[in-house]
Structure 1
């Protein structure tokens, strides 16, 4: 059973800092009390001594952890980031309950995977996550679920679904299939992955996922949820180096579309990764995938519009982009509103 929560993240972070300061103070006091107790021996008049200090430190530690979980959960569950008070219905009453529920879900999903039947996997997720899958947005639940499944388990679930529901679509899920995936296990896992990744709760074993997972799995994750811009760039560099001469497909479309939410990440890609930028531009120049072209042009406009990101990075991105475009490149027409450098300040 969850609860309705109202929390102001900025004020809560301030409280966490105060709790940390109190814990540090107690850490400095405890050795002094220990020494005083040892020196006094039988003459020590106190009954509890450092036991009370230890319990106080444990309380401060638990309070900080609970508060961090509440902040992370509220920020992941509120669809639009707002300042001030956030109000949200938590799917779980506490971090321990979320972790326990994740273990239950993982056990059911792993058992279903062992059957080799994607329908069983879907039933396991549906029975555990609820009709709207709100549990996927809880960072503690997400981290527990992904920790139990592991990268291989995540790939198995997503690949199993696509082979059953969209066979042969290894170049990325087309829109109709992607819409179905959003309401099935891929959508739940994508939201869980984003929640755990954005809050820094993924284990070390996940660092290699961008390098080892199939391209369609990676683009499904970034298309169905919103991981961090840093991860998006890691995925982009990896995918754009796998098939640098390939034409545009739905994988490339999903990558370009994801950048619309992260203009600063696209600025960084343009400024720091000229080779990978060239792959995006070459695919655009072919003119064979209108949806990809619209997605890339929209992402570039958002990244280069006045006021987007930091001025210096935006100017470097613009300089790198214009330097990579031939005079007759088709993209010039779509970016004509940015040709006047004065409009980009």
Structure 2
């Protein structure tokens, strides 16, 4: 996917002029990062959610979020440091990115009606939506009022809003669940989950350089696609309420499976097309796993995942980064 940010045009050459000075900041890139991000996010929610009950619920949602890896915020900081950014206020920008991701996760869970264990699904859906919308607005304010150069701050806020809109398009395609083939699936993933990783990486890059770097956008998108395929493989293998087969979700693995089944396994097509109920197939887990093995569904999906991951590695290598930064990036991409 190509992303146009407002009416601005960004060249790909900028940003590399500082590569000789990147080593100076590597030592503080990841040290204590999760703690620092958590502090910034807690303070932001306390400052902007003035209704006590709303703030209490927002902080509870945040504490659950802080149990995760905070990959997106870490990617923002890493890219800022990689391109010689030195301002400590980058942690506030990274907190903005994580609040954006948290808000969309909350909305996604309300829409999908799954992931019942998270704290925000214990609230009324309308309250969860209010919390998510508030967090999204806070993210914008943190970028615009974070103390960076005004033009770079505007570029970053514009990018965040554009990528959220792109993700909304991708989420809508996912919810409609009408994806006909692998090409349409990859287009949906590029708009949905990959767009958010592009956002995280590019905000760090743009705050450091003031420029759009197409190489960064390209490898972030490829990494995001690989990560989504990995999730889809997991969600087909796990036989629980998020199982993509039981939920008739059209993902890369299930699309391949639907194309590969033979007439003797037609019950799989019958289930996906609504002619069988979940109760008709719940007892056929072993049979389904045998069919996936026979058709090579998981093998094919794994190969496609690795294809995008290797493309990420190729594009990352084109930047000729110092080996230390490459190691930091690969550690986060694990």
Give the TM-score normalised by structure 1: 0.27
